[in-house]
Homo-oligomer: A and B are copies of this chain.
Amino acid sequence: MSDRIEADYLIETPIDPARAAAVMAGEQSAGTFVKVPGETPELQARAGAQVVSLTPLDATDSPSLRGGQQGTRYQRAKVTLSWPLDNIGPDLPNLMATVAGNLFELAQFSGLRLLDLRLPRAFAEAYSGPKFGITGTRKLAGVADGPLIGTIIKPSVGLDPQDTAKLVGTLAEAGIDFIKDDELQANGPACPFEERVSAVMDVINAHADRTGKKVMYAFNLTGEVDEMRARHDFALSKGATCVMVSLNSVGVAGFLGLSRHSALPLHAHRNGWGYLSRAELLGWDYAAWSKIWRLAGADHMHVNGLQNKFSESDASVIASAKSLLTPLFGDAPCIPMPVFSSGQSALQPPETYRHLGHADCIYAAGGGIMAHPDGPRAGVAALRQSWQAAMAGIPAADYAKSHPELARALKAYAK
């Protein structure tokens, strides 16, 4: 394992790509093109970033991003840079400034996107990674095989704690494994965190006492660090088995302030991901971005879903999910449980399973459960049956012949 940090980028530039790559390396380390006093060859060798590889790709006549240098052709390339670990140590917040700092603004680029990261082993010692991950989540949720069938409280906002608890009762009776707050619901005056936790956990604990099944509920505790720690402790004291946090709302240091403290699975919500990723030649690929949060302790990570209601392609969704399942280090794989959601119903499990190769995921549906013509219990059953069929290698239509909930769902949700 190298003791250097490596990052892969997709670039687009009107200048010689090799020179552009050298500009990136200089800007993000000890400088290259504007010599200043003290910038000796020894210092460059010790602290400078290096261009590890450069692979030219296609070229285009018009720049993907404006404002930079003008040219006639804009060449795309894949570039890998590396940095000595000694520049920053195994430090995630400062890794951000190194691999994803000023360089996106450089005038030499009409496109620059961070694709992937490879980190020295020292990061595995400095950060815990997911404390629960797939195994710990399955244990707490009492689901040994198959996906956790989940849902989201809807309407997203507007329900008070008692309304929320009542809906949780309905969902628990329907056989759900997992429920999450919407990311818009945190600790507003209309539905304060502690009141919501108390009301919901009363229902979940009573249901568990009666049936032996404890539904996992991810309470959105997003807030300041001291608030998140206090909310975590409160949820834990009420018997909660999961908390949720909006990653882009709290940031890496905010998240670490929670995860260092946490004794519950951390359900990591990626809302805001669009502004980081939707321009094809700018920002972050999920593989790079998610590695930061995996190391920092995210137990569940959202990857959208196939045929979703958003703009993301199925190929991108599957690439994201697969990237989560790639070990970060041999002895510290840091693998979170992928969360599929957005417009999911009994229709998508076969294809999801075919790509994923297993069912180690949270599979969340809103309308796909609540809008089942025979109600939420049938909605949950239909999703579970769709997954059972996929895992057994049986076409859903065949399995539906002996499973009426699935049959009704396939018809109701057909597009």
For this complex, 27 residue pairs linking A to B, each with C-beta atoms less than 8 Å apart, are A28-B184, A34-B367, A38-B159, A38-B163, A38-B167, A44-B158, A86-B190, A88-B184, A88-B187, A91-B187, A93-B224, A94-B188, A94-B223, A97-B222, A97-B269, A97-B271, A100-B248, A101-B246, A102-B183, A102-B274, A105-B278, A224-B253, A225-B254, A250-B253, A253-B254, A254-B257, A276-B276
Kindly report which residue of chain B lies nearest to residue A44, judged by CB atoms. Answer: B158
Q: Kindly list 6 other residue pairs between chains A and B, CB separation below 8 angstroms, not including A67-B313, A224-B256, A225-B257.
A: A36-B367, A89-B187, A98-B184, A225-B253, A249-B253, A250-B252
| Stretch of A304-312, A387-395, A405-413 on the interface side | A304-312
Contact: A311 with B222, CB < 8 Å?
A: no
Q: Which of B31, B87, B283 is in CB contact (< 8 Å) with A154? A: B31
Contact: B31 with A155, CB < 8 Å?
A: yes
Contact: A252 with B252, CB < 8 Å?
A: no
Contact: B275 with A104, CB < 8 Å?
A: yes
Contacts of A50 in B (CB 8 A): none
Contacts of A96 in B (CB 8 A): 246, 248-249, 272
**Min distance, Cβ A311 to any Cβ of chain B, angstroms:** 4
Q: With the chains together, A187 CA to B312 CA distance in Å?
A: 38
Q: With the chains together, A186 CA to B156 CA distance in Å?
A: 40
Q: Interface centre among A43, A44, A254, by most B CB within 10 Å?
A: A254
Contacts of A28 in B (CB 8 A): 184
Contact: B29 with A184, CB < 8 Å?
A: yes
**Min distance, Cβ A299 to any Cβ of chain B, angstroms:** 18
